[in-house]
Chain A
Amino acid sequence: GQQVMQIPQYQHVQEGEDFTTYCNSSTTLSNIQWYKQRPGGHPVFLIQLVKSGEVKKQKRLTFQFGEAKKNSSLHITATQTTDVGTYFCARSGGSNYKLTFGKGTLLTVNP
């Protein structure tokens, strides 16, 4: 199937450390989305990547799309306690509407 694999499943960091989560696919992605879900909350859209090798930044968050469009990463510089949550990547089905989500990476931050 058109799955996306996320690693790691869990990551615990000290506040101020950097954090990276990876999303990998065995097939080429037409685009990829990243979402964040705070504990007890609902997923919130962060960004969509479309172009090969694309890099986008949102303050301390850097998103990359691989050159072969088979992987993506989310990097957080100098984590803060507000970064706690689960980060999901999602891929679209191309011409159809279905989105397939990865299982997510749960980030916890020790203050």
Chain B
Amino acid sequence: NAGVTQTPKFQVLKTGQSMTLQCAQDMNHEYMSWYRQDPGMGLRLIHYSVGAGITDQGEVPNGYNVSRSTTEDFPLRLLSAAPSQTSVYFCASSGTGFLAKNIQYFGAGTRLSVL
């Protein structure tokens, strides 16, 4: 059972380039989220989804787009990369239920540098 799979693990971009961070889960979870982690800032929610076709903004959504066409996949798109988007990105998923939705399973992360 793979759990939550993120690709790529590492990425270097130039300012202005676009790219998509991939996230897939095989646990049939309804809830999926994207976080970024910066030193001293903890985990900050970028976007989240409560099911296929439904997405919403988190705390730091600017510069990022998401879509959720299937239950399994939740890609994160950087439209025009900026150095401020250098970070570690984590995708997470959780099941349904009032308490189960809070138990998040994280992917291994994507370490992104924007030059």
Contacts and interface: CB of A to CB of B under 8 A. Distances in A.
Contacts of B102: 31, 33, 48, 90, 92, 99
Contacts, number: 55
Interface residues of A, number: 22
A69 to B, nearest CB: 15
Contacts of A45: 103-105
Interface in A32-61: 33, 35, 41-45, 48, 50
A96 B43 CA distance: 18
A88 B42 contact: yes
B3 to A, nearest CB: 10
Interface string A99-111: 1111110000000
A97 B101 contact: yes
A42 B109 contact: yes
Nearest to B48: A97
B45 A31 contact: no
Nearest to B111: A40
Interface string B31-52: 1010100001111110010100
Contact of B99 (A50, A90, A103): A50
Nearest to A102: B42
Interface of B: 31, 33, 35, 40-45, 48, 50, 58-59, 90, 92, 99, 101-109
Given A42-B106, A88-B42, A90-B102, 10 more contacts: A41-B108, A45-B104, A48-B103, A97-B31, A98-B45, A99-B104, A101-B35, A101-B44, A103-B40, A104-B42
